[in-house]
Amino acid sequence: MAAERKENVVLFPFMGQGHIIPFLALALHIEREKGYSVTFINTPLNISKLRSSLPPNSSIRLLEIPFTSSDHGLPPNSENTDVLPYHLVVRLLRASTSLKPAFKKLLQDLIHQHHGHRPLCVIVDIFFGWTINVAKELGLFHAVFSGCSGFGLACYYSLWLNLPHRKVDSLEFSLPDFEEASTIHISQLPKNILEADGKDPWATYLQENLSAWVDSDGILFNTVEDFDRLGMLYFRRKLDRPVWPIGPVLLSSESRSSIGKETLVTPELCREWLNSKPTNSVLYVSFGSMNTISTSQMMQLALALEGCGKNFIWVVRPPIGFDINSEFKANEWLPEGFEDRMKGSSRGLLIPKWASQVEILSHRAVSAFLSHCGWNSTLEALSHGVPLLGWPMAAEQFFNVKLLEEEMGVCVEVARGKSCEFRHEELVGKIQLVMDDTEKGNEMRRKASEVSEMTKNAMKNENGVKGSSIRAIDNLFDAAARQMENTEGRQS
Ligand SMILES: *[C@@H]1O[C@H](CO)[C@@H](O)[C@H](O)[C@H]1NC(C)=O
Ligand SMILES: *[C@@H]1O[C@H](CO)[C@@H](O)[C@H](O)[C@H]1NC(C)=O
Ligand SMILES: *[C@@H]1O[C@H](CO)[C@@H](O)[C@H](O)[C@H]1NC(C)=O
Ligand SMILES: *[C@@H]1O[C@H](CO)[C@@H](O)[C@H](O)[C@H]1NC(C)=O
């Protein structure tokens, strides 16, 4: 009976922190905005970890899909990219297709438990093209959710499908189906794309599973139409499918901290420190929870922070080659006496491991953000109108910086890649360019605050006035409901 049934939405991310966290944010968003029940599928170890980090008032249902990593040539109990060395990540990716029969069975059981009432829609990871057939066989509405920007993913998608760098001799080239993105430089390619020849395990997997999207019912992006138009244009043209920009969908800091690492500098201490600083005087430096830099880069960065004369907060992690979760040794990895001098002058605050990022970015004292430009950190900065100094390190971060710098004018790239050589004098110049009262700096601040307005407007939902991102999620579920009526009508 229609009145009694609550629509169920099934979510299934790839097993990596960078995928699970945006899906969790989406799950909480759907629960809160639409009141639907949400079923979240993942492998057992990831589910047990998630169980302890869901907010207590959430009714999201966590469902285990059986998976034994050692059956796939992976170390025991490794169900997540974060616990794997780089060369095994593609093996986990390829092993995901073995979940197909179990995925089908889980969906059939769900339908059975709901007395034949099918989930309204199944939303899967960008890497899970293989789920489309399963959904179609069961007559379910299928959508792909990308936690990346539209622009960033468009470059990534086009690169994998075309491997354009293999076809030219030059260091720069354009994308054959995405001319709007202008040129890409070879130094902007993530390692696996750079090395791809079309026959390697990454390329064979992604070329099939990404191009399978043409059979999905649509693509959702954690982004805002107004500043990510080119990316939306690319996928609408390429796939001839609906594309729904529904962002920014972010975790609140409460749910974030329970998933993140423990903090050593408390949020209160950090707030007091920021309160004592003038408006727009602090540079915030963090490379996300999964990245770090080399020892020599860390030295140069410290010299730049000291040399630029600005206040700063720096979230520090052990450099490449050391366990990223081990203790931070300032006297080994930073210039002699650096920590004491910064403490003494109260000019810099070093935060080991993890900081309450949203709180920092929303503080009036913060003026700019030196970031790896992962999309989640970027959205947090854009929401609060904070301009960026970009140091992309992996995946589609290179193209996020391209979007932010060339299209949006809210970012200056300061370094590129994990192994780049970079000098403190250059960074000092760029920090001053962005933070000082320069023409460029003022222009960036003006644009960043425009983008922050766009972001707020997109998520507006008051007195019947809905922003573009709220309308997009309504449109997604309307399309799913229409399709369900059609198939149920046909079957009865
Ligand atoms: C987003 O950023 C937070 C730090 O603010 C981090 O804990 C989390 O893992 C990030 N999520 C993704 C998807 O990278
Ligand atoms: C996923 O599983 C791994 C074990 O392979 C675990 O270490 C990790 O914390 C889990 N991640 C999440 C987000 O649950
Ligand atoms: C859970 O609590 C948070 C914080 O109080 C609130 O924002 C959210 O809407 C609540 N979610 C549900 C599903 O009630
Ligand atoms: C996804 O990739 C795997 C491994 O290459 C392949 O077996 C599978 O058919 C692909 N799925 C789709 C839908 O292309």
Of all protein residues, whose CA lies closest to atom 3 belonging to ligand 3? Answer: 57
Number of folded domains that form the chain? 2
Whether residue 413 sits in one domain with residue 487: no
Q: Residues, the chain, total?
A: 492
Whether residue 475 sits in one domain with residue 355: no
Residue list, ligand 2 pocket, CB within 6 Å: 17, 20, 45-46, 49-50, 77-80, 83
Whether residue 469 sits in one domain with residue 449: no
What whole-number distance in Å separates Cα of residue 17 and Cα of residue 327? 22
193 within domain boundaries: yes
Q: What is the distance in angstroms between the CA of the first residue and the CA of the last residue of the chain?
A: 14
Is pLDDT at 93 greater than 90 in this prediction?
yes
- Whether 65 and 106 have beta carbons less than 8 Å apart is answered as yes
CATH of the domain at 98: 3.40.50.2000
Element (H, E) at 279: none
pLDDT of res. 1: 39
Is pLDDT at 194 greater than 50 in this prediction?
yes
Q: Tell me which residue range forms the domain holding 324.
A: 261-455
Read off the pLDDT band of 259 (50, 70, 90).
Answer: low
* CA atoms 417, 419, 425, 431: torsion sign: positive
Whether residue 45 sits in one domain with residue 83: yes
Which atom of ligand 4 lies at the shortest distance from residue 209's CA? 14
- Whether 152 and 41 have beta carbons less than 8 Å apart is answered as no
Mean pLDDT, all residues of the chain: 94
2 within domain boundaries: no
Token pair for 367: 């003026």
* 155: Cα separation from own chain's centroid: 15
Rounded to an integer, the average pLDDT of 427-436 is: 98
3 within domain boundaries: no
Closest ligand by atom to 60 CA: 3
Whether residue 236 sits in one domain with residue 163: yes
pTM for the whole structure: 0.94
- Whether 70 and 42 have beta carbons less than 8 Å apart is answered as no
Pocket test for ligand 1, best of 81, 261, 289 (most atoms within 8 A of CB): 289
203 within domain boundaries: yes
pLDDT in tens, 157-172: 999 999 999 999 999 9
pLDDT of res. 257: 52
What whole-number distance in Å separates Cα of residue 35 and Cα of residue 245? 20
Is pLDDT at 429 greater than 70 in this prediction?
yes
Of all protein residues, whose CA lies closest to atom 8 belonging to ligand 4? Answer: 130
pLDDT of res. 6: 80
pLDDT of res. 491: 64
Pocket test for ligand 2, best of 42, 46, 65 (most atoms within 8 A of CB): 46
- Whether 235 and 149 have beta carbons less than 8 Å apart is answered as no
pLDDT of res. 303: 97
Closest ligand by atom to 98 CA: 4
What whole-number distance in Å separates Cα of residue 390 and Cα of residue 404? 9
Q: Which of 363, 364, 393, 361 is nearest to 377 (CA)?
A: 361
What whole-number distance in Å separates Cα of residue 359 and Cα of residue 282? 13
Q: Please enumerate in sequence order all residues whose Cβ is within 8 A of that of 216, keeping only pairs 6 or more positions apart, or say none.
A: 132, 142, 143, 144, 241
- Whether 394 and 190 have beta carbons less than 8 Å apart is answered as yes
- Whether 305 and 284 have beta carbons less than 8 Å apart is answered as no
Whether residue 85 sits in one domain with residue 220: yes
pLDDT of res. 261: 53
256 within domain boundaries: no
Whether residue 480 sits in one domain with residue 417: no
Whether residue 137 sits in one domain with residue 233: yes
Closest ligand by atom to 214 CA: 4
316 within domain boundaries: yes
DSSP secondary structure string for all residues of 435-453: HSS-HHHHHHHHHHHHHHH
432 within domain boundaries: yes
Whether residue 401 sits in one domain with residue 365: yes
- Whether 267 and 295 have beta carbons less than 8 Å apart is answered as no
Whether residue 398 sits in one domain with residue 360: yes
pLDDT of res. 476: 98
Whether residue 286 sits in one domain with residue 173: no
In the beta sheet, which residues pair with residue 39?
10, 61
pLDDT of res. 410: 98
In the beta sheet, which residues pair with residue 172?
185
- Whether 146 and 14 have beta carbons less than 8 Å apart is answered as no
Burial of 388 (0-12, 13-18, 19+ CB in 10 A): buried
pLDDT above 90 coverage of the chain, percent: 87
pLDDT of res. 263: 64
Rounded to an integer, the average pLDDT of 218-235 is: 98
Read off the pLDDT band of 3 (50, 70, 90).
Answer: very low
49 within domain boundaries: yes
CB pairs under 8 A, 24+ apart, for 298-303?
298/333, 298/334, 299/333, 299/334, 299/335, 300/422, 300/423, 300/424, 300/427, 301/424, 301/427, 302/334, 302/335, 302/338, 303/335, 303/424
Instruction: Calculate the alpha carbon distances from 265 to 253, 319, 353 in Å.
Output: 15, 20, 9
Rounded to an integer, the average pLDDT of 176-202 is: 97
pLDDT in tens, 373-424: 999 999 999 999 999 999 999 999 999 999 999 999 999 999 999 989 889 9
Token pair for 251: 């975790």
pLDDT in tens, 347-378: 999 999 888 899 999 999 999 999 999 999 99
Amino acid letter at 461? N
Read off the pLDDT band of 325 (50, 70, 90).
Answer: confident
Token pair for 310: 């600005």
Whether residue 359 sits in one domain with residue 226: no
pLDDT of res. 100: 98
Token pair for 320: 């490449």
pLDDT in tens, 266-317: 889 999 999 999 999 999 999 987 889 999 999 999 999 999 999 999 999 9
